Structure 1
Amino acid sequence: MDWLHIALRSLGAIAVLFLITRLLGKKQISQLTFFEYITGITLGELAGFISTDIESHYTLGLTALLVWFIVPFTIELVTLKSVTLRKWLEGNGTVMIKDGKVMGKNLKKERYSADELLEQLRKKSVFNVADVEFAVLESSGELNVLLKKENQPLTPKHLGIKVGPEKEPQTVIIDGNIMDEPLATAGFSRAWLNAELEKIGVTKDNVFLGQVDSYGALFVDLYDDMLQVPANNEKLLLLANLKKCEADLTLYALATQSKDAKATYEQCVKQLREQITVLVPLLKR
């Protein structure tokens, strides 16, 4: 019955290891520091030892697991308050590129070759070293990159455009089933969803996945990959109508002989143009 004994010990080890990992937190399964790397390997080895070494007492393995849980857990709590201990255990980031220049000494210190640096940059979608202003190798081993100002993506802030806060998209249909809670969170009802589906000529049973973004736009992915969902042109039609109103007001201002009416039309054109400028980024999404 050794197989049953090993199976039971393995189930116990899995349960204990899962509990320990949950208590140690998500850092244990993300990019690891040196100490977390050592802890992860050791916990795995101990779990294997507990599962298969039937000659040793089960509690001995559990004791070892408990020690390897208490020590890292205590150190994590202490390092939250001690900068010195945190630097000593986790290390500091190493600057690899500064002011657009590759730091050769730091590459040698971290035993990084030029090819490895280029590989890490490509993982960040950077293929030209000349585009980089600053790059640092974190203690977790991840390379973080800051592009030069002229190479950074253009944002609404650069253009002086104010945008509203972005909310989390809500998944309202999964496998043809309507998710009432996310739908309510988005602020809509089943009647609204059915009306939106009717506009694009789709039934919920044909929808594999449906999401509503923060602007109330519905995206659907159908089971049949060959079917194309018609685009929702309501926003573009609204933009076209607003621009038509602007053009009509401009014509009225040119056609009228009354100075007061002309001034009123011109003021309306100015105000409408300002509103269109604000709405364009939203209506062209």
Structure 2
Amino acid sequence: MSEETNSNNNSNSNINSADDSGQGTPAVNRSATRASQHKRPNNKLVLGACMLAVVLIGSGVAGLGLSGCGKKAESAAPAKTEAAVVTTTTTTTTTIAVGPTSALTGVQLNLDDTAGAALLARPVLVAKMDNSPEAMPQIGIEQADMVIELKVEGISRYMTVFQSKDVQQVGPIRSARTSDPDLLAMFGRPLVAWSGGNENVVQVMADTPWIQSVSHSQAPDAYSRSSAKKAPHNLILDVPKIYTYADQPPVLPNKLFDYVAPGQDPGGTPVLGFDM
């Protein structure tokens, strides 16, 4: 009975001390609480360590142990690294030296074609050529850089243009017309070979500054008559001889058209032929 009484007295003493504080709340035995905290493991710290270890492993950090998580961490296998294969492609560009380009045809010469370059360094030669049945076949027309057909008096004449090819003879040569100088302006200052004409034509040709007139009467030794045809369809021009009359320095033609570069696709669709 004395032990129970003492125990009750202690309890009452604890309760009374709480009542005496005026808070109306039972007092807490702080010594007992501290002892209890020392005995319990800190579950929050252990759980936090486990979560930190999981995050680190999930982020690729290998080799960390999960101490305090209740299980030993397994050692991670070393990662395999494969060497990257680097492929190098070497492109060799070869520049081919080329010579001058013909202003009339767009044909580009080889650099070692000195003879062709010499031809392009001389003035253009324009020869008025016969196109009547009696004049056929004409001489040298297939070697012309350009052929312009002119309608005159119900027939046609040719204005044949030479520069890039080494031609020896052309003909038959026929007369000039007063409309010729307007067409000749695009060729620089060309030599113009013609057989003759009326007084008005002769004066117009003589007064045109952008041509060098070399008619039959102006350069007689450069012309001859062929026995194969009848006059007036047989006057033949000696091309090397007529070039001895050319003024120096020559006035060369500008590029007449837009030409595709060597190897460039010209475009268009191939056809077997066409009607005009």
Which bin holds the TM-score, normalised by the shorter protein?
under 0.3
Larger Rg: 2
The one of the two structures with greater contact order (alpha-carbon pairs below 8 A, sep at least 6) is 2
Tell me the TM-score normalised to structure 1 length.
Answer: 0.17
Larger helix fraction of residues: 1
TM-score by length of 2: 0.17
